[in-house]
Homo-oligomer: A and B are copies of this chain.
Amino acid sequence: MSNKRKLSHTALRYRLQGFVRLYGDDIQSFEAMLGEPREFSADEVLVPAGQQQSHALVVASGWCTRSQMDADGRRQIINFLLPGEMAGVFLGVYPAAEYQVAALTDVTVWRISGAELAKLFGQAPRLALALTWMAARDERLLEQQIVRLGLRDSIERLADLLAELYHRQIAGGIAAKQAAELPITQSDLADTLGLSRVHTNRVCQALTETGAVSPGRGMIQIADIKRLERVAAFSDAYLNGNGA
């Protein structure tokens, strides 16, 4: 358990250091702020829709979704939260969101109050830069999702999303072999890609036939990332930092 928590810190550190060189005191002051992680089971709602938040979230382990519900009960997944990723950096300055944050798998998360976050921006400029970078990257992910939905056909959408998620796992410092396993159902994919479950299933089969992925119950395994990227006409430029 404490082993697990240490592992989680790893993902966060790895991600933060991916684009800004941080020093011991930066990391320590940030991790001190995180406090005790909280645990949630799959499908639990961490942040209900329409509720003003005073805390941001950092995922320690597991995956979350940010999604919005329709009047008819249909769901649009806006983005995923992977270990080491954040949600709600803008909390406090903006009224309640209409989207909710829910656990996709069992998850462990830290909470950071807006006040502490603001203080951190004054006191740890390198860390603030790293967090700003993450916010910028998040916006880029949303833009990419718009392009996926607006411009791509179904198999490209699927391949592109899977390739993105793979690279985001890698960016969390997870070993390539483990990163290739995405804990996501076809229903989740459907709700992300704006496709029906039935059609998503057929597209998954088509993609499996290319050899890029191999199916599994409640997860999808990336068998050949290069091939997947070719199907998607994928470019990871928007994911990579300046490496500075």
**Which A residues fall within an 8 A CB radius of B?**
50, 68, 70-71, 74, 76, 78, 90, 93-99, 129, 132-133, 135-140, 142-143, 145-147, 149-151, 191-194, 233, 235, 237-238, 240-242
Contact = CB atoms under 8 A, between A and B. Distances in A.
6 contacts: A93-B129, A93-B136, A94-B242, A95-B241, A135-B135, A138-B139
A151 B98 contact: no
Contacts of A68: 143, 147, 151
B76 A151 contact: yes
Contact of A142 (B50, B96, B143, B237): B143
A146 B145 contact: yes
**A96, A137, A147 interface centre (most CB from chain B within 10 Å):** A147
A149 B143 CA distance: 12
Given A78-B143, A139-B90, A142-B146, A151 B95 contact: no
A135 B146 CA distance: 18
Nearest to A94: B136
Contacts of A146: 76, 78, 142, 145-146, 149
A76 B74 CA distance: 25
How many copies of this chain are found per oligomer? 2
Given A70-B151, A93-B133, A145-B146, 12 more contacts: A50-B237, A68-B147, A76-B146, A76-B147, A90-B135, A94-B136, A96-B237, A97-B140, A98-B237, A98-B238, A146-B146, A150-B192
Contacts of A191: 150
Given A93-B129, A98-B238, A242-B95, A76 B150 contact: yes
Given A145-B146, A149-B149, A132 B90 contact: yes
A132 B136 CA distance: 12
Nearest to A121: B121
A138 to B, nearest CB: 8
Contacts of A143: 68, 78, 99, 142
Contacts of A50: 237
Q: Which residue of A98, A151, A192, A241 has the most chain B CB atoms within 10 A of its CB atom?
A: A151
A220 B76 CA distance: 29
B74 A151 contact: yes
A98 B235 contact: yes
